[in-house]
Amino acid sequence: MYWLLRALSAIITRLPAGAIDRLAKALAWIGFDCVRLRRGVVLHNLAIAFPEKSAAERRAIGRASYYHFLLTAFEFFYSRAIDVAATVTMKDEHYLRDALAAGHGAYVLCMHLGNWEAMGAACTRNFVPSYVLVKKVGSSSVDRFVSECRRHNGFLTVKREKKGDGLKAIAEALKCGEIVGFVMDQARPGEPKLPFFGHPAKTNTSFAAICRRFRAPIVPSFVLRQSFNRHVQYFLPEVSLEYTGDTDADILKQSTEFNAVVETCIRRCPEQYFWLHNRWK
């Protein structure tokens, strides 16, 4: 599989941008309208998130989300041949620079919107080393290919080989004044259901727990695609958290606040969000 992915990457990097765009649109139509791959999940998610929209509008958003996901995948393959960080321009980056100026590092609250792989590379290029906690991707051969691409792109990762690895890496990065990215929009088994688009959704509360243990500014950020291999990364004002003596209540409240931030970002451009993930199981 590793060599197959290498070969596929070599083919894609030889295609002009227009051809890749047309291919992504064709495959999105096949996946959404013909094969209907996870179409039910996507439309179910969109019905919860946007009940005010018509069924036709939600179908259009769903089809577009397939298209943008495919472009993200093609851009990932293409990144072996280009400087992916250079494809990203910054908007309101002063929010993150101000947070880093305190010298305690910073958390970047992010989500699966636009090309999140390009965003990680751009943060490292334009600010300081930026780390994201990740899991193994697929089989060992697939994970090898993904890891190689990420290293080439400057997308720095922390793999949790054993218990405690992640926390140690976070503490070290913040101590060095670096960035820790946390992808907030996917849940782990056993997590509580908290409001997301007005409905209970399993929510990963570990970010709030980590922020309580290792204090640092929290700056939300997301990236939107302008065209193939052209992106704009947006930064929002720092999120201020309140801490009381009730740890459990604080974590639930803060995780709910994080969900609200993610929701606000998604509403900016729902067509580029990863609706294939079932948040409302």
Instruction: Provide the pLDDT for residue 146.
Output: 87
Instruction: Provide the pLDDT for residue 147.
Output: 87
| β-strand pairing of 156-159 with 88-91 | unpaired
Token pair 């494809």 is at which residue? Answer: 87
The domain locations on the chain are 2-272
Q: Is 129 exposed, middle or buried (0-12, 13-18, 19+ CB in 10 A)?
A: middle
* Model pLDDT for residues 52-105, shown as the tens digit of each residue: 999 999 999 999 999 999 999 999 999 988 889 999 999 999 999 999 999 999
- Distance between CA atoms of 127 and 197, rounded to whole angstroms? 32
Instruction: Provide the pLDDT for residue 238.
Output: 97
At residue 185, does pLDDT exceed 70?
yes
- Cβ proximity of 104 and 261 under 8 Å: no
- Distance between CA atoms of 122 and 147, rounded to whole angstroms? 17
Enumerate long-range contacts of 237-243, CB under 8 Å, 24 or more apart. 237/95, 238/95, 238/98, 238/99, 239/109, 241/208, 241/211, 243/212
* Model pLDDT for residues 17-31, shown as the tens digit of each residue: 999 999 999 999 999
Instruction: Provide the pLDDT for residue 160.
Output: 67
Q: The whole model's pTM is what?
A: 0.92
List, as one string, the DSSP characters of 100-166.
HHTSS-EEEEE-SBS-HHHHHHHHHHHSS-EEEEE---SSHHHHHHHHHHHHHHT-EEEE-SSTTHH
Instruction: Provide the pLDDT for residue 156.
Output: 87
- Distance between CA atoms of 114 and 122, rounded to whole angstroms? 13
Q: Which of 68, 73, 78 is nearest to 138 (CA)?
A: 73
At residue 230, does pLDDT exceed 90?
yes
At residue 118, does pLDDT exceed 80?
yes
The Cα-based distances of 129 to 149, 154, 178, 201, 215 in angstroms read 17, 8, 6, 32, 18
Residue % of the chain over a pLDDT of 90: 79
* Model pLDDT for residues 244-256, shown as the tens digit of each residue: 989 999 999 999 9
Instruction: Provide the pLDDT for residue 267.
Output: 97
- Distance between CA atoms of 78 and 120, rounded to whole angstroms? 16
